[in-house]
Structure 1
Amino acid sequence: MSLRLGGLAVDGLSAVLLVTLAVVLAAVLVFAAGERYGARFYGLMVLFAAAMAVTVTATDLLMLLMGWEVMGAMSYALIGYAWSDADRVRSADVAFLTTRTADMGLYAAAGFALAGAHSLRLDALAQADGPWRDLIAAGIAVSALGKSAQLPFSFWLARAMSGPSPVSALLHSATMVAAGAYLLMRVHPLLAATGWADALVAWAGAVTALVLGAVALAQRDLKQLLAASTCAQIGFMVLAAGAGEVGAGTAQLVAHAAVKSLLFLCAGAWLVALGTQRLDELRGAARRHRLVGAAFAVGALALAGLPPLSLWVTKDEVLAGLPPGLLAVGLAASVVSAAYAAKALFAVFRPAEGGGVRVPVLGQVPLVVLAFAAGVLGVLGLPVAAEAWRRLLGVPDESGTDTRVLALSGTLALITVAAVGFVRRVPAPGWAAEWLYLERAAGAAVVRPAFAVARALARFDDRVVDGSVRGVARGGRWAASLTGRRIEIRMDGLTRVVARAARTLAVLARRPQTGQIHMYYAQAAVVLAVLVAIAVLAG
């Protein structure tokens, strides 16, 4: 059952995403109302959300690209919202150019779809002809992994932290970063039809969940920790898309949206009140305003995967039924997620002196709502609701929750959180703290070679192309000057000779013009005699 309008349609999957988007957007805007942003901010946020709504309801690649591109443009404007700050604008540039580079895959996929499937409809892509189907899947996978900040594109999300905290809350939960995972779940039949793309996507998500979890664990900045954790948690959704667990992946997306928007809003409240987001300077921040601290605790414990909170169930529903290799990586990633969530939680709850944190009453309401959702949305993965959930989404029966994996994951999460509580300092190796040096690698492998080629082409243009044009111009000027000095003088002389001859003939021609009729008759007689003589001689 779906509602269609042109290239847009609302079915079970898109309806769930639209409701999630609406709830998170309302919560974020209500919270932001206390921070006195201007009309430009709210306009950009609404356009950002509208572009996501077009993306999730698009039924063909043309409409998808429209929403996809507007969403990218709005993210650029929001990350660089404080445009007078050069560092923030530079971060917006990096984020925008990285995602735009990956977006080229979606344009390529649209071209391949016209060639191989003769249609841009998403539900027709799996029926494309042999090699075209593989090319379409590759293009969509690259674009989706880039949009969702999966390896090797993850570093742009670190740059996105330069934007206001409400922007981060929306960006990381229900809009742009989730869009790539959503797209992969939407086109899972295409991935499965290739015989290789589904496995590639699943492993990309699993490896990102594990490696970016380690990156999150090494961070000393709260927003950077949350950003890396977003990459890791989105990795579970990408893993679900590759494994064909669309219902589980969607439940993970919805629960994660509530958890991550809650955590970013709490971080934003502390940033405004305390002027810092460094973990060592946020010591005791959760105790200075109990409601913010309690809300952050619920979100952090849910992120850690502690029973009975939401991500404990939804994440393990993703892991259920996986082959042993993927399951091992997924369980390792869930342990790491418990570690970085515990690190953030203990950092803000350790005792410290300081004044209270004031949060407007209006801003407290979204925190309460999101904390409640972060606690209870795990019901989506429980057997009592799983069948109805899959029926709503219109997906086939899946593996469902495995109680053994659920118990193992919950136990590991509890042990990990307790262990982090006894550790004074979590190791922070440079490779992890610096986001695997991904931005440096991109600069060395892509940016610097591109600039080198651009400089070489500029030199070629300046020296060869422009030199040739200037040479032709100089030749033209030389030929013109040569003509003026040598040829034009002779031509002027010839012209003067012709003119003098014409004047002489004119003078001679005027002499017979006496005005006397008998002279005209005599002249006519002479001419006639000459003609007769010529005729006689010729005969």
Structure 2
Amino acid sequence: MSATLSRAVSGALGGVPSAEGALLWSLVLLPAVAGGVLVLSGGGRRTAGTYTRPGGRGRTAPVLAVAVAAVTLALAVAAALTRPSARTGFVAGGPLALAADGLSAVVVVTVTAVGLLVLVFAAADIRAERPRFFGLMLLFLAAVLVTATATTLTALLLAWEVMGATSYALIAFHWRANEPVAAGATAFLTTRAGDLGLYLAAGAALAGATGEPGRLSLDALPALDRPWLDLAAAGALVAAFGKAAQLPFSFWLSKAMLGPSPVSALLHSAAMVAMGGYLLLRLHPLLEAAGWAATAAAWGGALTALALGAVALAQRELKQLLAASTGAQLGFVALAAGAGGLAGGTAHFAAHAAVKALLFLAAGCWLATRGTDTLSALRGAARRPWPAGLPFVVGALALAGVPPLSLWATKDEILAAIDAPALFGVALAAVALSALYAGKALGLLLRPAPPGAHAREPGPGRVRGLPLLWGLPLGLLALGAAVLGALALPPLAGALKRSLGAPGEPSAGPALMLATAALSLLAAVLAAVLAARLPEPRWARAWLHLETAAHALAVRPTLVTARALARFDDAVLHRAALGAAGTVRRLAGWAAAADRFGVDRLVQGVADGTRRLGELARRPQTGQLHHYYAQALTLLAAAVLLLLLLR
């Protein structure tokens, strides 16, 4: 199916694809086409209650989506092994070009694997409007895959736009309620503000390129001359920070929690938010060429990891804690991109994807069965049912950086790349905060529920028990959360560095690894024991008041300016337009009168005079010969007389 699809599309584009090109086109087009078909196919039958009983299309949508995701995963693995490339025309000087290299090979396998497991979970979790949901998820997945494999700015911008649009539709999936729609709009507009940076980078590439061929290639950006190099680097930083929810864009993550749990799991783990970190890893040569941009990325990531770690520690809802931790953990990826730890950042990207998808899906289980994600109401939730509780414990310990689980080794690999003492100190403090907020969640969810307390009884639309389709992805993700740290340990760390073209990057030594292990373990145990008494400062619980600041510094001035411009339009431009219209109408009336009484009468007079002259000229034409002789004699006599007078 995928090969046929690729051949058909490539034929429509005017070319016959190579075998490796067909593989890449199939990888991105299969979920895109299947998702589009599902979105356009409609939904299920409406019934009373929260859920919709699926009709025929509603029952087949999850099966089709999971099957497409499984085939896409197989294609991703094949692409990671064969490293194909593909290229086709799009706009003048800006082709759509895709390639699988060392970095994108890790990313596409991570994205498709996590996407498949999230869709399996969603097959049992999503009951309403299934074709639309699963179609949007596949379109979202396709956009992420194009982002991960794009080698030109045109391909990257196209995928970036689709990714943003589908993320809005997924966060606002329950569109009949006002809150999800407002949350989706907040996420969309905030990330769109950052996305302008990518257009700035594209403009700098067009303006600063010395030659036409390849000027929109991502690999050509580091060769730009200043100031275009600095503009491109600044634009890339803004775009990546916006998507990855780094400071000051972080607040949109809190709003995104109103989407369905599978959406949160995919969006926060391996998809849109993670793509901001991926973009920084991809454009590391550009950041390094600019100099200041690499430093800005490193410090921005480290400060975000520290600040959002404090935000996560202060949260009282599990999904809010996990959302803040997403921005914090991607801060480590940004730090790696700026500090030159590409292998550590890539390994952290993959391990964090498994950990965060696992934790969000576990939170979704409890939200569906208990009707809440408030930490105080989830006491004892990690004790039973164990198919959700045990994977959550594994994921939370990995998030805390407890050895030998994954994020312990990946964070150390990032720390090893830092050569500035102040930056290292901030990053180490962020590592400790990771252990604290993960330990807090563990301590509350493992603590026995108070005597007499009962979980909320499932109401309409709530799930009773734990469906089998939930336990399977949770178990597999827990396995990934446990073992993916091997990417940052010998011998896989060396192979990953060679694959990324960075064989000389430093690795964490035993002293650093033992120190961070002791720090993380101590902080996690302390937080678990004191979970109910840990500080929750208001400024941190309110996400640093970033949304309030955004309203004060950006939204409100924009609205004030818009209202002033509207008043100027009404008072000046509108009146000027009406006055100009009246003047033009009067001038048109005068012109019409001049035409009617001047030009028309003149034309009519000329016509009447010509007609009268014609009538006079026709009178001598009698047809009688003697009249013509008389006229000739008269003319001859007149001529003779004229000659005599002129002599």
User: Same fold judged by TM-score > 0.5?
Assistant: yes
Per-residue deviation, residues 71-127 of structure 1 (Å, max 9, x unmatched): 222212211222222321222122112212212212221232344354233333333
Structure 2, unaligned runs of 5 or more:
1-81, 88-96, 459-463
RMSD of the TM alignment (CA)?
2.7
Say whether the 8 Å CA contact 1:383–1:400 is kept in structure 2. no
Partner of 2:411: 315
Letter in 2 for 1:249: G
Secondary structure of 2:504's counterpart equals coil
Distance in 2 between residues matched to 1:213 and 1:199, nearest whole Å: 21
After alignment, is 318-327 or 330-339 more displaced? 318-327
Q: Encode CA deviations 1:10-35: one digit per residue, 9 max, x unaligned.
A: 12221111111121011101000002
What one-letter code is carried by the residue in structure 1 that aligns with 2:359?
L
Contact 1:246 1:395 in 2 (8 A): yes
- The alpha-carbon deviation at position 482 of structure 1 amounts to 4.2
Counterpart of 1:145 in structure 2 is 241
1-structure distance, mates of 2:533, 2:283 = 43
Give 1:504 deviation, angstroms. 6.9
CA separation in 1, counterparts of 2:584 and 2:530?
Answer: 84
From 175, 181, 193, the equivalent of 1:101 is 193
Match of 1:449 among 548, 557, 580: 557
* Post-superposition offset of 1:478: 2.1
Question: Counterpart of 1:29?
Answer: 119
Task: Determine if the alignment matches structure 1 residue 347 to structure 2 residue 347.
Answer: no
Kindly provide the amino acid, as one letter, of the partner of residue 547 in structure 2.
E
Q: Secondary structure at the match of 2:286?
A: helix
1:202-213 to 2 correspondence within 5 Å?
A: 202-213=298-309
Residues 1:416 and 2:528 are matched in the alignment: no
In the alignment, is residue 538 of structure 1 matched against residue 635 of structure 2?
Answer: no
Q: Deviations over 1:438-471 (max 9, x none)?
A: 1222222222333333344444444444444433
- Is 1:276 aligned to 2:372, yes or no? yes
1:200 aligns with 2:308: no
Q: Specify the code of the residue in structure 2 equivalent to 1:5.
A: A
Q: Could you give the per-residue CA deviations for residues 361-403 of structure 1, whole angstroms, max 9, x where no partner exists?
A: 1221000111121122222223454223323443223221233
CA 1:292–1:457 in 2, change beyond 3 Å: closer, same or farther?
same
Q: Rate the CA distance shift 1:480–1:418 in 2: closer, same or farther, 3 A.
A: closer
Moved more, 398-407 or 457-466: 457-466
Q: How does 1:455-474 map to 2 (within 5 A)?
A: 455-474=563-582
What is the match of residue 177 of structure 1?
A: 273
1:326 partner letter: L
Is residue 336 from structure 1 mapped to residue 433 from structure 2 by the alignment?
yes
The structural deviation recorded for 1:426 is 3.0
Distance 1:216 1:517, change over 3 A: same
Q: 2:107 aligns with which of 14, 17, 23?
A: 17
Q: Give the letter aligned to residue 431 of structure 2.
A: S
**Contact 1:383 1:401 survives alignment (8 Å):** no
Per the alignment, do residues 344 and 503 of structure 1 end up closer, same or farther by CA in structure 2, a change over 3 Å counting? same
User: Cα–Cα, structure 1 residues 479 and 353, in superposed 2: closer, same or farther, change >3 Å?
Assistant: closer
Q: Which moved more, 1:112-121 or 1:504-513?
A: 504-513
Tell me the secondary structure at the aligned position of residue 250 of structure 1. helix
Q: Which amino acid aligns with 1:109?
A: A
When Rg is computed on C-alpha atoms for both structures, the one with the higher figure is 1
| 3 and 505 in structure 1: CA distance in 2 versus 1, 3 angstrom threshold | closer
Q: Match of 1:360? A: 467
CA distance in 2, matches of 1:129, 1:492: 67
In 2, Cα distance between equivalents of 1:412 and 1:312: 11
How many Å apart are 1:512 and its aligned residue? Answer: 5.8
Which one-letter code corresponds to 2:109 in the other structure? V
More displaced stretch, 227-236 vs 213-222 = 213-222
Cα pair distance change 1:491/1:358, threshold 3 Å: same
**Paired position in structure 1 for 2:326:** 230
Return the match for 1:260 from 356, 373, 378. 356
Post-superposition offset of 1:253: 1.1
Q: How far is 1:509 from its partner?
A: 6.4
SS in structure 2 opposite 1:313? helix
Residue type of the partner of 1:373? Answer: G
Secondary structure of the corresponding residue to residue 495 of structure 2: helix
Aligned letter for 1:184?
L
Q: Does 1:190 align with 2:298?
A: no
Q: Any conservation in 2 of the 1:284–1:353 contact (CA below 8 Å)? A: no
Per the alignment, residue 4 of structure 1 pairs with: 85
- Counterpart in 2 of 1:70? 162
1:372 partnered with 2:464 = no
Alignment correspondent of 2:587: 479
State which drifts further: 20-29 or 111-120. 111-120
Report the Cα offset of residue 485 of structure 1.
Answer: 6.4
Shift of 1:308: 2.3
2:422 aligned to 314, 325, 328, which one? 325
Q: Please report how far the alpha carbon of residue 493 of structure 1 lies from its aligned counterpart in structure 2 after TM superposition.
A: 7.2
Contact 2:302 2:423 in 1 (8 A): yes
| 1:245 pairs with one of 341, 363, 369 | 341
Q: Per the alignment, in what secondary structure is the counterpart of residue 8 of structure 1?
A: strand
The normalised TM-score by structure 1 is 0.92
Q: Secondary structure at the match of 2:115?
A: helix
Distance of 2:118 and 2:515 partners within structure 1: 35
Equivalent pair of 1:4/1:10 in contact (CA under 8 Å) = yes
Q: Distance in 2 between matches of 1:92 and 1:208?
A: 22
How big is the shift at 1:510? Answer: 7.0
Which amino acid letter does the alignment assign opposite residue 412 of structure 1?
L
The residue that corresponds to 2:508 in the other structure is 401
Alignment of 1:482-493 (within 5 A): 482=590, 488=596
Tell which deviates more after alignment, 1-10 or 246-255.
Answer: 1-10
Q: Could you tell me whether the CA contact under 8 Å between 1:13 and 1:394 is conserved in 2?
A: no
Matched, 1:128 2:209: no
> 1:100 & 1:502 partners in 2: Cα distance?
74
User: Which of 49, 54, 57 is residue 146 of structure 2 equivalent to?
Assistant: 54
Equivalent of 1:81, from 152, 156, 173? 173
Alignment partners' CA distance in 2, 1:61 and 1:429: 42
Shift of 1:294: 1.4
Moved more, 421-430 or 333-342: 421-430
The separation in 2 between residues aligned to 1:94 and 1:209, in whole angstroms, is 22
Instruction: Give the distance between the partners of 1:195 and 1:57, measured in 2 at CA.
Output: 25
Which piece of structure 1 moves more, 325-334 or 398-407? 398-407
Please tell me whether the aligned partners of residues 255 and 378 of structure 1 are also in contact (alpha carbons under 8 angstroms). yes
Residue identity opposite 1:471 in structure 2 = G
Q: Using the alignment, how far apart are the partners of 2:440 and 2:398 within structure 1?
A: 13
Work out whether residues 441 and 531 of structure 2, in 8 Å CA contact, stay in contact via their aligned partners in 1. Answer: no
2:45 corresponding residue in structure 1: none
**Alpha-carbon deviation of 1:277?**
2.1
Letter in 2 for 1:451: L
SS state at 2:301 partner: helix
State the 1:191 CA deviation: 1.9
Q: How many residues align?
A: 539
After superposition, the Cα gap between the structure-2 partners of 1:512 and 1:325, relative to the gap in structure 1 and judged at 3 Å, is: closer
Question: Which residues in structure 2 correspond to 1:514-529 (within 5 Å)?
Answer: 517-529=625-637
2:309 is aligned with 1:219: no
1:172 aligns to what SS in structure 2? helix
> Comparing 128-137 with 250-259, which one deviates more in the overlay?
128-137
- Shift, 1:168, TM fit: 0.9
Deviation digits for residues 211-269 of structure 1, max 9, x if unmatched? 01111111122211111100000011111111111111111111111110000001111
Letter in 2 for 1:531: A
Match of 2:542 in 1: 434
How far apart in 1 are the matches of 2:331 and 2:389?
27
